[in-house]
Structure 1
Amino acid sequence: MGSSSSSQKPDSTTQAGGNTDFKSVSDQEWKNKLTGEQFYVTRQKGTERAFTGYVSFFPINHCMLLACCVQNRQIGQIGRWVKMGRVGIETWNTGTPKLLGLTIAFVATLHYMIDTICGFLRSSTKFDSGTGWPSYYQPIGDNVKTKLDLSIIFMPRQEVVCAVCDAHLGHVFDDGPPPTGKRHCINRSQLHQITMPPSFSPSPPWQQSPTTTTKHSPSITPKPNTPNFLTTQSKHPKKKFQSLIANSKSVNTPPPLVVVGSANADIYVEITRLPSQGETISAKTGQTLAGGKGANQAVCSSMLSYPTYFVGQVGQDAHGELIIDALEKSGVCLDYLRKVEEEDVPTGHAVVMLQSDGQNSIIIVGGANMNGWEGNVVFKDGFDVVVRNAGIVLLQREIPDIVNIKVAKAAKSAGVPVILDAGGMDAPIPVDLLNNIDIFSPNESELARLTGMPTENFEQITLAVAECHKLGVRDVLVKLGDRGSALFTEGNEPIEQGIIKAEKVLDTTGAGDTFTAAYAVALVEGKSKVECLRFAAAAASLCVQVKGAIPSMPRRKAVLDLLQSI
């Protein structure tokens, strides 16, 4: 993957792997040797986007070699040797006995060379993890090593690196298939693929068949009821959504739900109580999970089986990769997610203080959510077309008001409904924004803060909502916590929805986002307002029974099953 000209440079990387002190290789030498993406992944510990490698799932017979410490001419030579081995195998299978001994010796030698000198991964240990990155349950020999990665706070991981040059390859997790139970999740861009002779790829234990079809070619058939981990189809394929660029509403796919908003790394700390002024207390546990009101709502919509796009920003850091991974695994389309160019702008993050009763207090650091939007697709020609082809648009106040106003105006001009979640900035909402939305959705605390009126009972809430009507908002959807919810449409009686009682409340983080997104999904699917409220209440009830925001988003079947049971 590096250029042939760079391999001729007399730098220290052109020596054989065993004779090079890779610690002495400068960044400039690595840049000369590698492509930009290879340098980013291997030397800067970056992560490529899921499903974006030029080959995400490979043919069965292959071995992977690392670009950093194998010369281009070595790659070519090994490829020629392998080709000779394949010809030998084919000749052997045609029944030419005099070449049998030579072929066996040649292939065995090549097998040893690949395994012990420069091979990292073998296709016989590859399986479909559904993550969008190539996954293997076992590397070759001792050619890789692991070390503790603490780059994400409260989320320790085991990094996989090259044992020779210390290049970053990916991470290993304890959720793989037998016989190791490991999942080596590997970036694709820095690897060279060598297609191997057939006999080099023994079947994994769960795919071996007791029968064979020929003397030399075993039949590899998965056992009944056993998952085929080598399938080329992912559990989480990129969804085939309706185009948002071409005006294609005639396509059978429903018009997508578009979320424009925030994405945060939520740093959870579990505490028994909030600290008093000047006091330090210890947390019981801590972890970092993907979140943010925009990301939460996008994931919820996608988990409810509705095509969803997320428009937002993250920084060029580990927290950004954490969010991208969570969104992609949830099936959200990220065509309009942007990494800010400024390296000093971090991914947005929040400290979530979770108490034993499931209630939380949250402090937000805006980061990329509040900076650098001038380079976002929202402010480029053609974004109005993106909004025009949506079925509904969701906004929140964890991004600049100027962004929300531009999106809301584009949606209103196209007749696309907009829901604005009031959560986020503690500041008055611009009238220009309220005049261009269809549904305003605060909780009772946000409603009190924005109107300056009490909201301790339903009568007070009704009076506060009336102030919102005066500002030009026709529909106000109020989330009332353990009192349920209510939809106030100007000129009509409010529609009340009680809570659907949860078996146990573990964490209310993300419950409001779940409610808003579920309501939006039901609305764009043509349900009545009463049905929308009931569907959203069921989704929120399931959400509070799981810790974490994105991990708690319920699947559509679970919501429907709950509704049928009550």
Structure 2
Amino acid sequence: MRIAVTGSIATDHLMTFPGRISEQLLADKLDHVSLSLLVDDLEIRDGGVAANIAYGLARLGHRPLLVAAVGADFHDYGTRLSGLGVDTSGVHVSTTRHTARFLCTTDTDGNQLASFYTGAMAEASTIDLADVLRRHGGADLVLIGADDPTAMARHTHACRTLGIPFIADPAQQLARLTGPEIRELVDGADHLFTNEYEHELLLGKTGWTRGDVLGRVGSWITTLGEKGSRIERADEPPVEVAAVFAATVADPTGVGDAFRAGYLASLSAGADPVRCARTGSALATLALSVIGTQNYTPTPERVSELLVAAYGADAA
């Protein structure tokens, strides 16, 4: 199965605050916050949801087609991804903007404060997905990740027109999208990915019930952090899949993207949703154990070891 991954490509600036962010917030001063956190360290890493997912897929032997917009400063980043097996021929390079920036501070409880600079991602709306797929070998499945909202809508429309199954993964963009925009992105998706908070936000903003959503998508996968994930399908009871135990917790950034990469890798092999979610959990645990979103090494052998340890011998 050939998978195209659309969404953001960014440089992550990851900082660690040696305390609790919540303790720095004053309940009676939340209408006028002026807060500066002295952080212990700074890690500058390659990231962005589309690139993170493509990285995980490539590490498991796939050659995903990456479709996104970047700046001229992407050269070294792109060369590294290409060397790992990611097809970057579908990436649009801006002549005027820098690649997007993600700045994130994580405290000792894993809580985060983050900002995102759009940069070249604003030009993603100029990408003609149908043309990209025509010129670069097509795709059997397209993941539509967090990106410029116009680009997300345009990619979704292209998939419907071409009859290509697509995965709706609006993630961080749910906060700025309107109800009608979200409904347009979700309706008809083969899969829908959210985390637990986004699950409720999606329902609230669309006005849909859980049944309404399940009547419009094939499978709704909700990640639940350390509790694992939940699989929901129409006319079936929800199924919860336990997380893979994490011996080391270093950085939660990009863990959800790693889950998606593992899930898609198993999906492309014809696995059922439970097995897909288990593989996703294995990759998520590997990503959680290192700082940065593309520094874990999910070899098939290591993933199999984690699956057996967490779910039993038949899980591999």
Decide whether aligned partners of structure 1 residues 301 and 368 sit closer, same or farther in structure 2, where only a CA change above 3 A counts: same
Partner residue, 2:86: 332
What's 2:122 paired with? 370
The match for 1:473 is 217
Match of 2:249 among 505, 520, 525: 505
Give the one of 66, 90, 98 matched to 1:346. 98
Deviation at 1:469, TM superposition (A): 3.0
Whole-angstrom CA distance in 2 between matches of 1:347 and 1:295: 12
Displacement, 1:371?
A: 2.8
Kindly provide the amino acid, as one letter, of the partner of residue 396 in structure 1: G
Residue 415 of structure 1 deviates from its aligned partner by 4.2
Q: 2:214 and 2:198 mapped to 1: Cα distance?
A: 16
| 1:330–1:356 distance in 2 versus 1, CA, 3 Å | farther
* 2:184 aligned residue (432, 448, 457): 432
Deviations, residues 26-78 of structure 1 (Å, cap 9, x unaligned):
xxxxxxxxxxxxxxxxxxxxxxxxxxxxxxxxxxxxxxxxxxxxxxxxxxxxx
**How far is the alpha carbon of 1:520 from its aligned partner?**
1.2
Q: Runs ≥4 in structure 1, deviation > 6 angstroms?
A: none
In structure 1, give the amino acid aligned to 2:82. E
Q: 2:8 aligns with which of 252, 257, 262?
A: 262
Equivalence for 2:156 = 408
Letter in 1 for 2:15: V
What's the CA shift for 1:537? 1.2
Aligned equivalent of 1:294 = 50
Deviations 1:71-111 (A, max 9, x none): xxxxxxxxxxxxxxxxxxxxxxxxxxxxxxxxxxxxxxxxx
Secondary structure of the residue aligned to 1:335 is: coil
- Distance (whole Å) between structure 1 residues aligned to residue 36 and residue 138 of structure 2: 51
Aligned partner of 2:285: which letter?
S
Question: Which one-letter code corresponds to 1:349 in the other structure?
Answer: R
* Matching residue of 1:360: 112
Distance 1:552 1:509 in 2: 12
Q: Which has the higher helix share?
A: 2
Shift of 1:372: 5.7
**Contact 2:145 / 2:169 at 8 angstroms: preserved in 1?**
yes
Q: TM-score, normalised by structure 1?
A: 0.49
Q: Give the Å deviation of 1:336.
A: 1.0
Which one of 423, 428, 432 corresponds to residue 171 of structure 2?
423
Normalising by structure 2, what TM-score?
0.84
1:496 maps onto 2:248 in alignment: no
Give 5+ residue unaligned stretches, structure 2: 26-32, 311-316
| Matched residue, 1:283 | 39
Q: CA deviation at 1:384?
A: 5.2
For structure 1, which runs of at least 5 residues remain unmatched after alignment? Answer: 1-254, 454-462
Q: Spell out the pairing of 1:175-324 with structure 2 (5 A cutoff).
A: 255-272=1-18, 273-274=20-21, 275-276=24-25, 277-317=33-73, 320-324=74-78
Report how far residue 511 of structure 1 moved: 0.8
1:387, distance to aligned residue in structure 2 (A): 8.7
Higher relative contact order (CA 8 A, sep 6+): 2
The count of aligned residue pairs is 294
In the other structure, the counterpart of 1:482 is 226
Q: Is the 8 A contact 1:265 1:348 kept in 2?
A: yes
| Counterparts of 2:100 and 2:41, CA distance in 1 | 22
- 1:382 lines up with 2:131 in the alignment: yes
1:259 counterpart letter in structure 2? V
- For residues 8-19 of structure 1, the aligned pairs below 5 Å read none
Say if 1:353 and 1:474 are closer, same or farther in 2 by CA, change over 3 A: same
CA distance in 2, matches of 1:495, 1:479: 12
